[in-house]
Structure 1
Amino acid sequence: MKLTRLYSNQAELFLPVQFNEQLSVVLAEIRRTENKGKTIHNIGKSTIARLVDFCLLKGKSQKFFLFKHSDLFSEFTFFLELNLEDGRYLTIARSVEATKPISILVTDYDVPDAKDVNTSEWSHIGLGMAPAKRLLDGLFDFSSISPYDYRDILGYVLREQDDYGEVFHLGKFKGPHREWKPFLAKLLGLDDSLTISLYEETDKEAKVDASISIYQLESGLTDKTDTAKIEGIIGIRKRELEEIQSTLDSLDFTRADSEASQELVEHVEEQISIKNEESYRLSQLAARLDDSLREESILFSPKQAKKLFAEAGIAFDGQIKHDFEQLIQFNRAISQERREYLLKEKSDTAARLSELGPELADLQLQRADLLSFLGNSATMEKFKDISNQVVELRAGISSLERQRDALNEVVRLRQEKRQIQERESQLQTAIEQDVRRCAEDPSSRYSEIQRYFDKIIYDVLDEHALLSVDPSPTGALEFSAEIVSPAGSTTSASRGFTFKKLLCIAFDLAVLRSYRFDKFPRFSYHDGVFESLEPRAKRRLISVFREYAELGLQPIITTLDSDLPDPVDSSDEAISSSEIVRRLHDDGKEGRLFRIDSF
């Protein structure tokens, strides 16, 4: 899949961009003297990538310039034509403001301007985002990265300035690691299903831990309390209850008093006692929940540890520090899950406590009415005393049974947790074996991308670079791309923005080269490729882009004229006029991508 052209329904405000089959250059010229040496903005060299992404159905966001400035762009419809793997041409038309803004045209021939095509000849008209994405996914048929869709790879073939900060974790992937690491594993030829399964088991363990904490709080007992001991105490209390109940049953009352006493015993007094016990239990639970929430913090600090180790003359850096940081990150994720469960339990507890107050008040009124009816005979006093004992014993037994049930649930959950941890261990081992297998196999996708990546960096800088994947202590994959010294150790050069950008470009090109015989994007778009590189490295990078163009790929780059190593057409090494697909400049509207006032 290559880009053919980008245009709009308002050609007088947005001139068409016709991409080359091979290297395409978007050149921004600084013509005004006062702008020499400055970073200029708003002429549009970075905007082309955003428009390509928009036509490839980037999600709608009010921060995106077309929607943010809808007063300027509401009438625009953009068209992107692509040349598919099977030789057909695909044109995507997307309106800025329409409710169902997407139309698709598939032809066996190049269509220079789809606005001239009759509506009846379009393959699909007025699609919403979801059906249009499904349709494009089928037309592109990137089966080599299935079950992921075509949008997942676009971040690595459309790099803007903000995308050079990290080689792998793009700004577009702002979610948790599970939302991008499995795809990256798949892209590098690793078994992504193992990573997905590990994340699923980690989620299960976090939920089990949260449930264990809640049941422990409900029981109000220590971890060392034996359920068999509680069972024995329950037996003792039940025998006491039988004896007292027998005494209660032997008391004799008149019919009216007996009926009233029965109602008092079986309904009011018992309900008051139960609700008092429930209120006490919930108050204790609320206090314990507050204590647990205050304890939710990670006290270990790698920075403080490094300082203490330094004072003791011990090195605390490199992989040790990295492993601790990974472990802290993992624990924070689990703690967050547990905190959410605790907060929900606290909310439910508070709600129930607020209900108990009015219920108890009503029962106390009923109790007062009944007692005034019964009188104050000696038998009745004995009856009330024994009845209170019965109620207290029943409430106590009920509380013990809840504690027993909670502890039994803790035991069951811990067994479940051990099973989860066993599966996690098996998955961690499988991930390690998978990485080792791919690393040791020179014909694997992983090894192939490693070689291409290293060669690009060496051809440009005369230094080697290492692309690596390592399982962390928790089993999650960690991806790294670094420039290495002749001795094989990593250098600080890869940490600078200029070299980080070069590592990003090398990774993207290496992936495209590895997939060049599969149905896959053939184009790459890199913004501001030459900034801060020294002239010799720039010339070598141009050579790399041309080499990859000869392999059938379509590198698209943007640059300021002041960043070029040599003037256009000045030598065979220099960028040629035929490679420039769009010239932009800072001298008025005519030089901007959109011939309108700056926005």
Structure 2
Amino acid sequence: MKLSKIYSDNENFKSIVFRDSINFILSDDHSVGKSTLFSLIDFCLLKGSKDFLSREQFSNFTFYLELEVNSNKYLTIKRPTRGSSNITAKILDHKDLLLDTDTFDIVGGVEVVKAYIQKSIGFCLDDYRQYVSYFLRDQDNQSDVFRLNKFIRQRDIHYKPIISNLLGIDGNKIRRKYELDNEIEEISKQIIVKENDLGNYRTKESIIEEISVYEKQLSEKEELYANFDFYLSEKNISKELINNIETEISLLNQERNSLNREIDYINKSLEEEIAIDEEDINGLFDEMKVLFPTDLKKNYTSVIAFNKQILEERIVVFKENKTEFLAQIENIEKELLGLNEERSKILSVLKNTDTMAKFKELEKEIINFRTKIEVHKDRLNIFDEIQLMKETLTSRREELSKTIQENKRIITSPFITQLKSNLIKYGKLVFNRELAFSIGFNTSDNIEFDLKVENSQGFDNALDEGHTLKKLLCFVFAAALAESYKDKEFIKFVAFDSPFDGDKNTYQDGVYTAIKELGAKNIQTIITTVSEVVNNATNLQEIKDNYVVRYLSETDKLIGDF
């Protein structure tokens, strides 16, 4: 996979057409967009986050990245800055501009289109996105050869399997070692928690023996309980009977109280009379020296008569209800009398024998023994769980031992030998020194990768020129990887931001030689640099004459100001 061109539907971004081998993006100063180009390429290669492109000023941009893949086929990825499910891709057998194309082979989100690209190109490693940043090295990914910026705050399990895959080592086996470590640690912690739940018990046998004692005591108590029920039965007494009598008495008392309230209401109603009669009205009008009109007098007399009739009818109904209620109360009191006599007999039996107190105590003891037995059975289950955990722990430790031995065997291969050879070659070209590259295992049997440059004091990348060395080691590593994969279906470019920068960068000629060597091996390079940083005038002139694909300046920035 090589980069063919990158362009946009927005005129603020000028297209860049890449050469098949060496490509330079020069600038007359910093902050004109040369580093931004790496973010754009990464975005088009389906990086998950949009970074600065999520800003409002880029809301109307759509970017297109054309890739050369599979023997002169060209894959174009179209990705708008807005939306998440509108990414498209199309494969053609020729180069083309797809600004006016509406028909694509696939449309969807990052994962959907990424899966399509992975399948269509047939990369030799799964999920090409995991490896892109080892070949596309912006300045954020130049401080550590193996640990990319996105892995800085993550544990080794997240990036070492990826590096392993990249080096031809089975990353799943490397990952499994970390997973087994984590599982063993977690199971060990769980066993400690379970053992604490057992309290002072250290054997199952001690718990089983105590359960046996509790069950014997429970059996004795249950026998007494059964005898107590038999004793009550002889006297026609049961717990249910006692409870039923109490309930019936309570309900009858409620009903009697309700009937008494109804009778009180009737009695008060029977005492009511019409407050004003005809004579009262006449007297009132005489006092006021006003004539009581005959018609009004007649109407009022009719009303009084009607009210008296209603009252008399109500009195008849009230008296009938009262008679019925009194009869009901009489029946209720007879029932209550019988129930109270029966309750008194039962209470007399219980009081005289003190049986109820004994019965309640017996119930508590039975519940207590049953609880103790259940708690002990739970402890037995804990012993079983611990035993199962220990068996699992033994199994995981055995698997861990095998995995460690297998991992130590897979760190040697023809691919790794070839990679070491390429690392040595590019190390010589860039630094004119020897490189030491190793893959091994630390005291915890976890894989380690190491790449150092020889100097007068041995192999130490942390000397005065440490930052520059680490930066250029990232370049050497990317170059060696690219050449090692040149005959496989994989990434065939090295994009590196500002490899000539650095106050103590005395390796510019070596870097330029390495870039030309990559070109000779049919590996594409995309290099950004400020023109004045390049010290060798001859090299700079050759770059300008033959390799510049875009020149950036304050008046011609990559994508404007932001």
2:514 match: 544
Change in 2 beyond 3 A, CA 1:425/1:126: closer
| 8 Å CA contact 1:45, 1:558 repeated in 2 | yes
Letter in 1 for 2:53: L
1:292 match: none
Give, in angstroms, the shift of residue 558 of structure 1.
Answer: 0.9
Answering whether residue 200 of structure 2 is matched by residue 235 of structure 1, we say no
Answering whether residue 8 of structure 2 is matched by residue 8 of structure 1, we say yes
Cα distance in 2 between the residues matched to 1:261 and 1:513: 96
Pairing of 1:250-289 with structure 2 (within 5 A): 250-251=227-228, 252-255=230-233, 257-260=237-240
TM, length-normalised to structure 1: 0.70
Answering whether residue 33 of structure 2 is matched by residue 27 of structure 1, we say no
Q: Per-residue CA shift, 1:481-514, capped at 9, x if unaligned?
A: 2223578654533982211111111111111100
Change in 2 beyond 3 A, CA 1:520/1:398: same
Pairing of 1:398-547 with structure 2 (within 5 A): 398-435=374-411, 437-438=412-413, 444-485=414-455, 489-490=459-460, 492-493=462-463, 496-532=466-502, 534=504, 536-547=506-517
1:579 match: 547
Q: Per-residue CA shift, 1:531-568, capped at 9, x if unaligned?
A: 11656510111011001111000111111123111237
Cα distance in 1 between the residues matched to 2:463 and 2:222: 84
Q: Per-residue CA shift, 1:109-150, capped at 9, x if unaligned?
A: 222x3225x43xx4426433232111111222112x2xx211
| 8 Å CA contact 2:44, 2:78 repeated in 1 | yes
DSSP 3-state at the match of 2:438:
strand
1:286 match: none
2:146 match: 168
Cα distance in 2 between the residues matched to 1:93 and 1:373: 96
Letter in 2 for 1:527: D
2:89 match: 104
Q: Per-residue CA shift, 1:210-269, capped at 9, x if unaligned?
A: 4324423432346xx111121111112211222232233333543475325999xxxxxx
Give, in angstroms, the shift of residue 182 of structure 1.
Answer: 1.7
Q: Per-residue CA shift, 1:402-460, capped at 9, x if unaligned?
A: 1122122112211211111111111111111222x43xxxxx11121122112222222
1:49 match: 38
Q: Per-residue CA shift, 1:557-588, capped at 9, x if unaligned?
A: 111123111237666xx5333211111123xx
Cα distance in 2 between the residues matched to 1:547 and 1:261: 104
DSSP 3-state at the match of 2:26:
strand
DSSP 3-state at the match of 2:551:
strand
DSSP 3-state at the match of 1:565:
coil
Change in 2 beyond 3 A, CA 1:150/1:28: same
Cα distance in 2 between the residues matched to 1:387 and 1:96: 75
Q: Per-residue CA shift, 1:252-306, capped at 9, x if unaligned?
A: 543475325999xxxxxxxxxxxxxxxxxxxxxxxxxxxxxxxxxxxxxxxxxxx
Residues matched between the structures, number: 455
Which consecutive aligned stretches of 4+ in structure 1 deviate over 4 angstroms post-superposition?
260-263, 372-377, 485-491, 533-536, 568-571
Q: Per-residue CA shift, 1:368-427, capped at 9, x if unaligned?
A: xxxx99965422222233332222222112211111221221122112111111111111
Cα distance in 2 between the residues matched to 1:50 and 1:373: 95
Change in 2 beyond 3 A, CA 1:382/1:426: same
Letter in 2 for 1:186: N
Change in 2 beyond 3 A, CA 1:107/1:159: same
Change in 2 beyond 3 A, CA 1:564/1:407: same
1:244 match: 221
Change in 2 beyond 3 A, CA 1:485/1:259: same
CA RMSD of the aligned region, Å? 2.8
TM, length-normalised to structure 2: 0.75
| 8 Å CA contact 1:190, 1:434 repeated in 2 | yes
DSSP 3-state at the match of 2:49:
coil
2:60 match: 75
1:385 match: 361
Change in 2 beyond 3 A, CA 1:199/1:166: same
2:111 match: 130
Give, in angstroms, the shift of residue 205 of structure 1.
Answer: 2.4
The structure with the largest alpha-carbon Rg is 2
Give, in angstroms, the shift of residue 480 of structure 1.
Answer: 1.9
DSSP 3-state at the match of 2:522:
coil
DSSP 3-state at the match of 1:492:
coil
DSSP 3-state at the match of 2:468:
helix
| 8 Å CA contact 2:465, 2:504 repeated in 1 | no
Cα distance in 1 between the residues matched to 2:94 and 2:517: 28
Cα distance in 1 between the residues matched to 2:72 and 2:484: 21
| 8 Å CA contact 2:75, 2:92 repeated in 1 | yes
